[in-house]
Amino acid sequence: MPEIIPFNGILYSPELLKSASELICPPYDVISAAFQQRLYGSSPYNAIRLELPLEADPYSAAAERLAEWLQGGELQNDSVPAIYPYFQTFEDSDGVSHTRCGFFAAMRLYDFSEKKVLPHEKTLSGPKADRLNLFRKTKTNISGIFGLYADESKTADCLMKAFTESHEPIVDAHFEGVSNRLWRITDPEIVGQFQQSLQDRAVYIADGHHRYDTGVNYRNERAAANPSHTGQEPYNFILTYLANIHDEGLLIFPIHRLVHSLEGFDAALLKSRLAEFFTVTELHDRAALKAFLDGEPSSYAYGVVTSGMVLGICLKTDPKPLLDPARPEALQRLGLVLLHDLILFRLLGISQEAMAKQSNLTYVKDDREVFDAIDSGKVQVGFVVKPTTVEQVLSVSETGEVMPQKSTFFYPKLMTGMLFNPLD
């Protein structure tokens, strides 16, 4: 596994943490302008003011605010290095409660070519430039990345659960139906057991690819400017939440596709072309579509929603002739790859460039939004997809390839403001 070490986290003061629910926010990439305004109104110390400031120069504003809060005592540095167990309890769409268990540590940054940390999705240049500016100004990890590792013995999980059962959390915050609790472990013996149990295990990035890439770029900048660089400076590490893929609370939700602005789109023609490759089942509504997908074991099963038509489709031919033979088998087994290659590209004529730019394609995380978008008339066709599995994420990562953009949604998102990581 990449080297992980305890670190001196920055946390809100005990007084402010009495109202911790007013201080946290999601990561920057899921915050709309309206949501940003609402978070600003929740507290003058909400982490949105560091993660995504409203000011014209957001990076300088974040740096100045961070310094002010540290000087004023609203934020405080832990005096002893620690790792921080972080548990999120939530309900799925069926009302079943889950608790995802993981921990924050400082993880050494590696180039992907070293195969200690592996990506699974494509990244875009714009977000990386934005986050690099924030790194430069604040010299702090405001939000962490989300990494996965595989340990069937669940050694670290058992250590965390034993500790959390006998200690009160230092942060206990609720946000949009999710309970977020954080603990602090400073005992060197327990920390050493964490480190030892996770040796020789790769980390797979579940969420935060842009922030990880940014961390590598920032490390390279700092190292080049530091004649005394040793490799042990804090900027060589990045704030990382690590969860075991064998944790029962680890869930991946699907991300559905909405197609719009295609010239000459014809829903009836699309249905007839789909019938060349798929068995097509006419369905009545969202509930029937959910039942269809839940009952279909194939990875190549989808829902198709247009105005006045709901279809369940399942591939009836061998997928191999329909896919790029140069792709690794792990990618060919992904339903999203066939959706993109066959339906979006070949049948609907959406180019790879247009998909990357989202010229004709947008993404939603709730199948209800697919039906709402069709009803609004703003979308021509929606594709409801099955969730990618954790095993598929790992299989693709191990090949060195990446999945299509927006392949996975690990729920819930890690909350920004639980703690911060200084890079100086």
Judge whether 308 lies within some domain.
Answer: yes
- The tens digit of pLDDT for each residue in 50-87 reads 999 999 999 999 999 999 999 999 999 999 999 999 99
Judge whether 393 lies within some domain.
Answer: no
Same-domain pairing of 221 and 296? no
* CA distance to 56, 142, 150, 253, 254, per residue, from 292 (Å): 49, 42, 31, 17, 15
- At 122 the pLDDT is 59
Judge whether 176 lies within some domain.
Answer: yes
Rounded to whole angstroms, how far apart are CA atoms 69 and 72? 5
Structure tokens at 318: 């061998």
Rounded to whole angstroms, how far apart are CA atoms 45 and 149? 33
Judge whether 406 lies within some domain.
Answer: no
Question: Residue 397 pLDDT more than 90?
Answer: no
- At 88 the pLDDT is 98
The number of C-alpha atoms within 13 Å of 140 and in the hemisphere containing its C-beta is 27
* CA distance to 8, 94, 203, per residue, from 11 (Å): 9, 34, 26
- At 417 the pLDDT is 98
Same-domain pairing of 181 and 303? no
Residue 241 backbone dihedrals phi, psi, to 5 degrees = -95, 130
Judge whether 93 lies within some domain.
Answer: yes
Judge whether 185 lies within some domain.
Answer: yes
Same-domain pairing of 143 and 27? yes
Same-domain pairing of 190 and 260? no
Same-domain pairing of 416 and 294? no
Same-domain pairing of 18 and 35? yes
* CA distance to 130, 350, 360, per residue, from 355 (Å): 22, 7, 7
- At 207 the pLDDT is 87
Same-domain pairing of 303 and 184? no
Same-domain pairing of 26 and 146? yes
Rounded to whole angstroms, how far apart are CA atoms 108 and 114? 12
- At 124 the pLDDT is 56
- At 198 the pLDDT is 83
Same-domain pairing of 30 and 160? yes
Domain that holds residue 296: 255-386
- At 191 the pLDDT is 95
Same-domain pairing of 86 and 166? yes
Mean pLDDT value of segment 130-151: 94
Q: What is the per-residue DSSP string for 251-314? A: EEE--EEEE---TT--HHHHHHHHTTTEEEEEE-SHHHHHHHHHH---TTEEEEEETTEEEEEE
Structure tokens at 316: 């009836």
Same-domain pairing of 241 and 302? no
Pairing outcome for strands 140-141 and 145-149: unpaired
Rounded to whole angstroms, how far apart are CA atoms 419 and 405? 28
Same-domain pairing of 230 and 293? no
pLDDT-derived band of residue 388, with 50, 70 and 90 as boundaries? confident
Contact (CB, 8 A) for 302 and 339: yes
Burial class of residue 298, CB neighbours in 10 A (0-12, 13-18, 19+) = middle
- At 126 the pLDDT is 55
Judge whether 63 lies within some domain.
Answer: yes
Total domains in the fold of the chain:
2
DSSP classification of residue 25: B
This prediction has a pTM of: 0.84
Judge whether 87 lies within some domain.
Answer: yes
- At 323 the pLDDT is 87
Whichever domain contains 336, its CATH number is: 3.30.1760
